Structure 1
Amino acid sequence: MEELSNIADNLKLLGDKTRLAMLSLLKEREWCVCEFVEIFDISQPAISQHLKKLKAQGIVKENKRGQWVFYSLHIEDKAYIQAVLDQMPDSKTILSQLNKTQINVVCE
């Protein structure tokens, strides 16, 4: 029953449009917090809270490089999340829907 509870909690996280879009973008590459701030036009603390929830459930992992924190997917053991993300549009489509044709942030 614990596994069922974990799956339900993870799927609840995907019920948020911003988190679902973040995970969809992470399918193709890792992203920095500063890039997500520009993409979603929300504050850095709000972005960090979304990512903190995803990290706490083991859905994303972080990689610190200097002052920047990059996130990538960590769903090898979560086929049900992969199945959801397989149905999501690619990053170009998501960025277009958010009216973001070019990201001008340099995090390196």
Structure 2
Amino acid sequence: MMITTTMEIEKSALVLKLLGDKTRLIMMKLLEKNTCCVCEFVEIFQVSQSSISQHLRKLRDADLVKEERHGQWIYYSLLKDHEYFNLIEQILKQLPSQDYLLRELEQKGMRISC
């Protein structure tokens, strides 16, 4: 029982650590109801594609997001069957919507423009 509890705490700590980064937290909030491409995150956060890819790789490696390839482009969405999705969902519910960021992209004609 002690090993299971310790493992659960460690897994929870990993999820919380990943969500402790502001960029990843906003990404997760956006992915709560949307599917996004790397290029959209690059535009939203005004950082390099490699930086965005590193954030997404960490989220993907922890099975928090899933990828779907369309040709040369990869689209990301939340992995809602993650064993700690209830914890993630409770955290995301506490955050204000970030959908305005996607609306701004749409107004610029840059929403899923790849």
TM-score range, shorter chain: 0.7 to 0.9
Query: Aligned residue for 1:54?
Result: 59
Match of 1:83 in 2: 90
- Please give the secondary structure, in 2, of the residue aligned with 1:39: helix
* Deviations 1:12-54 (CA, angstroms, capped at 9, x unpaired): 0001000000000001111000111011000000000000000
Paired residue type of 1:54: L
Q: For 2:60 and 2:36, how far apart are their aligned partners in 1? A: 14
Query: TM-score normalised to the size of structure 1?
Result: 0.87
> Are 1:11 and 2:55 matched, yes or no?
no
Identity of aligned residues (%): 47
1:67 is matched with 72
Gaps of 5+ in 1: none
Residues paired across the two proteins, number: 103
TM-score, with structure 2 as normaliser? 0.83
- CA–CA distance in 1 between the matches of 2:67 and 2:59? 10
Tell me how far 1:9 sits from its aligned partner.
Answer: 0.7
Cα RMSD after superposing both structures = 1.6
Runs (5+) with no aligned partner, structure 2: 1-5
Partner of 2:3: none
Computing the radius of gyration over CA atoms, which structure comes out larger, 1 or 2? 2
